[in-house]
Amino acid sequence: MKTKKISGSEAVLLSLLEEGVDTIFGYPGGAIMPVYDLLYDYQDKINHILTRHEQGAAHAAQGYARVSGKVGVCMVTSGPGATNLTTGLADAMLDSTPIICISGQVHAPLLGSDAFQETDVMGFSMPITKWNIQVTKAEDIPGAIAKAFFIATTGRPGPVMIDITKDAQFAEFDYSYERCNDVRSYVPRPILQMEYVEKAADLINNAKKPMALVGQGVILSGAEKEMLAFLEKAGIPAAWTLLGASSIPTDHPLNVGMLGMHGNYGPNIKTNECDLLIALGMRFDDRVTGKVDTYGTLAKIVHFEIDPAEVNKNVIADVAVIADIKETLEAILPLINQNKRDEWLNQFKIAYQYEYDKVIKNDLHPEKEELTMGEVVRRVNERMNGEAICITDVGQHQMIASRYFKFKNTRSLVTSGGLGTMGFGLPAAFGAQTGAPDKTVVLFVGDGGIQMTIQELGTIAQNKAKIKIILLNNNFLGMVRQWQQLFFDKRYSSTELVNPDFITIAKGFGIDGNTVETRDKLDAAIDEMFNFDGPFLLEVKVEKEGNVFPMVAAGASVSDVRLD
């Protein structure tokens, strides 16, 4: 093995290059300065993108990872630089996003002394990372980075935090790099056990009314083709979780819509009518199940899952196949009988028509004077024909976009699921555009969420990222207001916003934009946005008190889904 004497700082960069990293999102500071100094000499090999806040760096790394399938990397300084990453780390942890965050730290002899900009990075990051490590010796840097990439990307992916003291960055050692392929006691890929595959196949073959629940695990495993082959052979209707969106094309005949609190009427109602629920890489989150005691009351449960900790955690499975979902689907396909189940599928069509008449028609083709979020998404669909990547922030617009955006390709929805992070949208959109530069990236964001990370307009402008930002402005924290209307007697406590002139702010950053308030100008404004060669902010002023339906109230049964 060849070695050469280099500093710890250079070892960081060379190790990242060994792992195929070509992009880092970050923000410099004193404790990480040695690495940034060496980065100056690696500008032709590593593209460093200066965000405007460390939280933005973490979310950008998430967006990059979600669309590219690669690891997102961000780098910050100690103290507030590291603590500002916590929201992104927690978000990535809940949404199984592989990112690696590198933070500088004070000199090792100062650890525990409350030195300037010292924080307990290991302590605060432990519960919100898949693994973390503090490096105090230069010679340990390559091994830590190699192990970090292995852990972040294998099994159920997740975030990793590497904290490196400043003296370790300065020190020199004989550098060599070896990729990590094994960690003692860590088994990322459980061994597939065919006896459970056979039991699952038997339940599926004998089911009269099965329904598949498609989660992000299918996307993370790259098992979209295997899933479609399985569904089509068995004739099983498939509903998807928020993060499972885009795993199955919107127009696929077996796609019956979104699950959960603001999911489609059919999948929610049929959950308690089907005789078999087949969970494909999803974790039975409370937003999907509603009241667990009344969930899937007539159904047996088959759970295909890579993470043993998620099995029997919320919903008890009759058969659990713990393995990589792609491997599981390949193994079960020959055991599945050919089936059509036309009568069962037709029941979902009837439910959809009922929902269309009660909700969807009014969302997409409103007769009211005020613009709706749904008609904006519909118009974008007509313009892009499912070829764009959809990014959302969090709130009412997130649910509307996820419900109505047309998906043709996998990895084309990036949103904050488990943590529900307002402010996620702008930096995640930039990261997504960086990870998929040849794709059109469309961001749907609310007037509340955009103000949480609005400084990242500077990152977008500086890098000339051609992101199309659609700000759906209702002058409210809309989702909270909806709950206040429905469950708190319309006591709108601290949810109405007095907003700034968003277009003027965007133009101050060097981003062009326009505002639309009436329906007759919407189409032309959307065309203007997509025809513009560069980033563009389109503010659409929508109805102030519009609600998102269907809705399963917190703690209610999925059978109690309401349409108004």
Report H helices in 436-511: 457-462, 478-487, 502-509
Q: How many Cα atoms are found within 13 Å in the side-chain-facing hemisphere of 26?
A: 25
Q: Which residues contact 400 (CB under 8 A, 6 or more apart)?
A: 363, 373, 374, 377, 444, 472, 548
- The answer to whether residue 122 is catalytic is no
Selecting among 479, 502, 539, 551, the annotated active-site residue is 479
- Token look-up 């974790």 returns 283
Query: Annotated catalytic residue: which of 18, 117, 330, 439?
Result: 117
Distance, in Å, from the CA atom of 138 to the CA atom of 144, rounded to the nearest integer, reads 10
Provide the phi-psi class of 117: left if phi over 0, else alpha when psi is between -120 and 50, else beta. Answer: left
Q: Is 479 a catalytic residue?
A: yes
Angle at 215 between CA 429 and CA 93, to 5 degrees: 60
- Confirm whether 358 is a catalytic residue: no
105 an active-site residue? no
Tokens of 115: 């030195």
259 touches 240 (CB < 8 A): yes
* Alpha-carbon separation of residue 451 from 273, 327, 475, 505, 534 (angstroms): 43, 43, 12, 11, 21
The catalytic residue among 19, 93, 149, 166 is 166
Cα–Cα dist 541/539, whole Å: 6
Q: Residue 166 catalytic? A: yes
Yes or no: say if 71 and 21 are a contact pair by the CB < 8 Å rule: yes
Question: Residue 550's closest CA among 350, 292, 294, 357?
Answer: 357
Q: Which residues pair with 509 in a beta bridge?
A: none
- From CA 393, how far away is CA 524, in angstroms rounded? 24
Which of 54, 305, 327, 456 is the catalytic position? 54
Three-state SS at 399: helix
The answer to whether the CB of 264 falls within 8 A of the CB of 359 is: no
Up-side HSE of residue 195: CA atoms within 13 Å toward CB? Answer: 0
Q: Given CA atoms 330, 334, 339, 341 in this order, what sign does their dihedral have?
A: negative
Catalytic positions: 54, 116-117, 166, 479
